[in-house]
Structure 1
Amino acid sequence: MTSLRSQLDLNAPLDAAVWAVLTVTFFAVARLGELVLPRLNSFDPSRHVARKHVRMDKDREGHEVWVIFVPRTKSSESGEDLCFAKQSASFDPVSALTNHLTLNDPKGDAALFSYRTTPAGSDEHQWRPLTKRAFNQRVVQAAKAAALTQLQGHSLHIGGTLEYLLRGIPFDVVKTMGRWKSDAFRLYLRKHAQILAPYLQAEPVIQENFTCYVMPPVR
């Protein structure tokens, strides 16, 4: 994430939106498709996140928690909240989102991650919703410039999951953060065990808990 950040200009409207999506997706353990649009003209406020869907709450201990309401997700037709908090790392989602909102200033009913553009021959700004294609293209460019392996949308989902597990966050808490239902989280971890294993091996206790958690029940 830090290497990608070095290849983005956070004073540029597109890069500010891309960086906000990167960090929020990662720390909210979200799916990329919950924050960006499949097509440029596909925005539907009853399905997609808009500027008005962002709010700041506080947890039971008084800590600030940022919330983005997704009107409809794969798991719930009535919508779900994505939650994240300020991080001490250089890739803080709160700072990234605040920068995007300040620079691009999408209006209340507009797609949350819209960014300013100026059409050729015009002096007036327009707002363009960030699509999955535009997001991926910019991330691929930044990854190549940073000599990184090409990233995919699911890399952020599994990356956020791994980040919290390595911090020692209990599996069931990470499951709740990622909004997995029933045994879906266990199956997800099994599917990505090969990716997770090299990192978990450096944390024997976490690795042991991981193995116990994902092992099929004895019958």
Structure 2
Amino acid sequence: MLTGAYSGSTIQNYSYGVQAWHILHGLPWEMNEPEMVFLLKGAEKVAPASAKQKKRVPYTPDFMTAIKDQLNLSKPFDSAVYACLTTTFYTAAHLSKFVIPNLKSFDAVLHVKPSDIKHETDHNRLHFTIFHIPRTKVSIHGEDVSWSRQNGLTDPEAAFKHHLEMNTPPPNSALFAYRYKNGHRPMTKPAFLKALAKAAKSAGLKPHQGHGIRIGLTLEYLLRGVPFEVVKVKG
């Protein structure tokens, strides 16, 4: 039995997988939908604590400012870290779209590069920067995410401009590649999160998990009065 051993979302995914198998093979799916919803909710209630993820604490502009104060933006690595943080925050994109798992995993077909950037102006004459993600789980043709200039110390435009001036990553390299010895090194997820954790501790704060960046932007936009459906589409 899955109930009581796995999280509710895991059991739900299993049930959808079985349903998809029936549809794929042209077989009738005879489960009663209301009963399925009731059973899945019950499974979620009795899920063991070990199957539940800890709640992510959201990043906020104040938290990012505190981190910035602990970074040395005259250094290539630190300038790339802060630019990556503000970009992932204000685009509401998954962190994995902008950093790579390890130093050897960069793939120009999959990862965002400087050549994937374009600048546009909307009908209100507001400027925004678009980052094209070459490929995602739901689209082999990729998707676009964007940010616009923000007031305050977490402005992604200023941070990104500084990163480009400091590191000048090659057009077809990792977007947040930074100068290292006689060349460039791509920003990896472990290095990025380690730098944020170190900066947070130096500021006397408890480090947040990486997923808290995307959660934080959702909270920030909702607090600004942006409609939920708009935030949902952006994220």
Q: What residue is the counterpart of 1:212 in the other structure? A: none
Query: CA deviation digits over 1:180-201, x for unaligned, max 9?
Result: xxxxxxxxxxxxxxxxxxxxxx
TM-score normalised by length of structure 1: 0.77
Read off the aligned partner of 1:8 and give its amino acid letter: L
Is 1:60 the counterpart of 2:117? The answer is no
What whole-Å deviation, never above 9, does each CA across 1:92-119 have from its counterpart, x for those lacking one? 001011100110001111111100011x
TM-aligned CA deviation for residue 149 of structure 1: 1.3
Q: Indicate whether 1:49 and 2:106 are aligned.
A: no
Partner of 1:112: 175
How far apart are the structure 1 equivalents of 2:137 and 2:68? 30
Equivalent pairs counted in the alignment come to 172
| TM-score for the superposition, normalised by structure 2 | 0.72
Q: Write the deviation string for residues 144-166 of structure 1: whole angstroms up to 9, x where unpaired.
A: 10111111111100000000000
Q: Which runs of 5+ in 1 are unaligned?
A: 119-124, 179-219
| Map of 2:71 onto structure 1 | 8
Structure 1 residue corresponding to 2:233, chosen from 169, 176, 185 = 176
Per the alignment, residue 136 of structure 2 pairs with 73
Find the counterpart in structure 1 of residue 192 from structure 2.
Answer: 135
The one-letter amino acid of 2:225's match is G
Three-state SS of the structure 1 residue aligned to 2:145 is strand
What are structure 2's unaligned runs of at least 5 residues?
1-63
Q: Whose radius of gyration is greater, 1 or 2?
A: 2
- Separation (CA, whole Å) in 2 of partners of 1:151 and 1:73: 25
SS for the counterpart of 1:83 is strand
Following superposition, the deviation at residue 49 of structure 1 comes to: 0.5
Question: What is the alpha-carbon root mean square deviation over aligned residues?
Answer: 0.8
What residue number does 1:91 align with? 154
